[in-house]
Amino acid sequence: QLQLVESGGGSVQAGGSLRLSCAASGATRSMGWFRQAPGKEREGVATIDYYGNTGHADSVKGRFTISKDNAKNTLYLQMNSLKPEDTAVYYCAAADRRGWLGLAANGYNYWGQGTQVTVSS
């Protein structure tokens, strides 16, 4: 069973930056970042497949960048120009498929425990 552990969350003022990390217990295929704000559904933020292709939600394009280090089995999310509406618990997820770039949560098989990101105005 693949285990995922997120880190790097915290509190920041609007316009600031944070980098989230997700350490996997083994090799991964496609991975993604999701977030869930209080009272809202979990939404896909960014995804990266086994080959390094990426996809980002329209709400974060130009501000967030997903990347990974295969040697370290670690996924990253660089978040710049943060806005209060980015406040949420951020989760990383892994899929069993190699070429998966979907932002739908039901496409992923493994989930981390989440890390809180709070952006104040």
78 in helix, strand or coil? strand
CA 62 to CA 94: how far, in whole Å?
A: 23
User: For residue 107, which amino acid is it?
Assistant: G
Q: What's the pLDDT band for 27 if we cut at 50, 70, 90?
A: confident
Among residues 2, 12, 3, the alpha carbon closest in space to that of 78 is found at 12
Contact call for residues 48 and 67 (beta carbons, < 8 A): yes
What's the average model confidence in pLDDT over 37-43?
95
CA distances 54 to 48, 49, 83, 87, 117, Å, are 4, 7, 22, 22, 22
pLDDT at 99: 84
List pLDDT tens digits, range 68-111. Answer: 999 999 999 999 999 999 999 999 999 998 888 889 999 999 99
What's the average model confidence in pLDDT over 9-25?
98
Contact call for residues 1 and 108 (beta carbons, < 8 A): no
Which tokens in the block code for residue 51? 């080959």
